[in-house]
Amino acid sequence: MRARRGDGASVCASVCASVARGGGAAREAREALGDEDDARERGDAGRLGARVPRGANARTVRCARVRCSAMRASASVAVARGAGDAKTRMRCARKGEKKKVPPKKFRHSSTHRRRRRRHHRRAISFVAHSCSPSFVMSRTLALFDVDGTLTVPRKEADDVMKAFMRALKTKVTVGIVGGSDLVKISEQLGEGAEKEYDYLFAENGLVAFKHGELLAKQSLKAFLGEDKLKTFLNFVLHYVADLDIPIKRGTFIEFRAGMLNVSPIGRNCSQEERDEFERFDKEAGVRAKMVEVLREKFADYGLTYSIGGQISFDVFPQGWDKTYCLQFVEKDFDVIHFFGDKTYKGGNDHEIFESEKTIGHTVTSPEDTRKQVTEHILDKL
Cα-based torsion angle of the residue sequence 278, 165, 186, 179 in order, rounded to the nearest 10 degrees: -50
Nearer to Mg ion, 57 or 306 (CB): 306
Nearer to Mg ion, 147 or 181 (CB): 147
Q: Name the one range near Mg ion by CB under 5 A: 40-48, 315-323, 327-335, 342-350.
A: 342-350
Nearer to Mg ion, 256 or 342 (CB): 342
* Window 120-159: residues binding Mg ion (CB under 5 A): 145, 147-148
Alpha carbons 218 and 205: distance in angstroms, whole number: 9
- C-alpha distance from residue 180 to each of 152, 268, 298, 313, 318 (Å): 14, 15, 23, 11, 17
If one asks whether residue 347 binds Mg ion (CB under 5 A), the answer comes out as no
Q: Could you tell me the smallest distance in angstroms from the CB atom of residue 159 to Mg ion?
A: 21
Contact string 256-275 vs Mg ion (x = CB under 5 A): --------------------
Q: Is residue 177 a contact partner of residue 320, using CB atoms and an 8 Å limit?
A: no
- C-alpha distance from residue 291 to each of 231, 242, 287 (Å): 16, 15, 6
Nearer to Mg ion, 101 or 150 (CB): 150
Q: Could you tell me the smallest distance in angstroms from the CB atom of residue 145 to Mg ion?
A: 4
Contact string 220-239 vs Mg ion (x = CB under 5 A): --------------------
Alpha carbons 133 and 113: distance in angstroms, whole number: 32
Q: Name the one range near Mg ion by CB under 5 A: 169-177, 240-248, 334-342, 359-367.
A: 334-342
361 half-sphere exposure, CB direction, 13 A CA radius: 24
Alpha carbons 128 and 356: distance in angstroms, whole number: 29
* Window 42-61: residues binding Mg ion (CB under 5 A): none
Enter the DSSP assignment of 345: T
Nearer to Mg ion, 196 or 349 (CB): 349
Q: Could you tell me the smallest distance in angstroms from the CB atom of residue 363 to Mg ion?
A: 9
Nearer to Mg ion, 93 or 325 (CB): 325
38 as an active site residue: the answer is no
Q: Could you tell me the smallest distance in angstroms from the CB atom of residue 146 to Mg ion?
A: 6
Q: Name the one range near Mg ion by CB under 5 A: 32-40, 111-119, 270-278, 333-341.
A: 333-341
Q: Could you tell me the smallest distance in angstroms from the CB atom of residue 375 to Mg ion?
A: 20
Nearer to Mg ion, 126 or 344 (CB): 344
If one asks whether residue 194 binds Mg ion (CB under 5 A), the answer comes out as no
Q: Is residue 358 a contact partner of residue 352, using CB atoms and an 8 Å limit?
A: yes
Q: Is residue 136 a contact partner of residue 171, using CB atoms and an 8 Å limit?
A: no
Q: Is residue 57 a contact partner of residue 24, using CB atoms and an 8 Å limit?
A: yes
Binding test (CB under 5 A) with Mg ion, winner from 273, 314, 321, 341: 341
Q: Is the dihedral of CA 278, 279, 282, 283 positive or negative?
A: negative
Q: Which of 35, 44, 85, 145 is flagged as catalytic? A: 145
Residues in the chain: 381
Non-local CB neighbours of 374 within 8 Å, separated by 6+ positions: none
44 as an active site residue: the answer is no
Nearer to Mg ion, 145 or 196 (CB): 145
Non-local CB neighbours of 28 within 8 Å, separated by 6+ positions: 57, 58, 59
Enter the DSSP assignment of 347: B
Q: Which of 7, 44, 85, 147 is flagged as catalytic? A: 147
Which of 269, 213, 214, 212 lies closest to 246 in space, CA to CA?
269
Edge-to-edge order in the sheet of strand 359-362: 213-217, 207-210, 199-202, 173-177, 140-144, 335-340, 359-362
Q: Name the one range near Mg ion by CB under 5 A: 9-17, 82-90, 299-307, 338-346.
A: 338-346
Task: Name the β-bridge partners of 144.
Answer: 176, 339
Q: Which residues are catalytic?
A: 145, 147
Residues lying near Mg ion in the complex (CB under 5 A)? 145, 147-148, 341-342
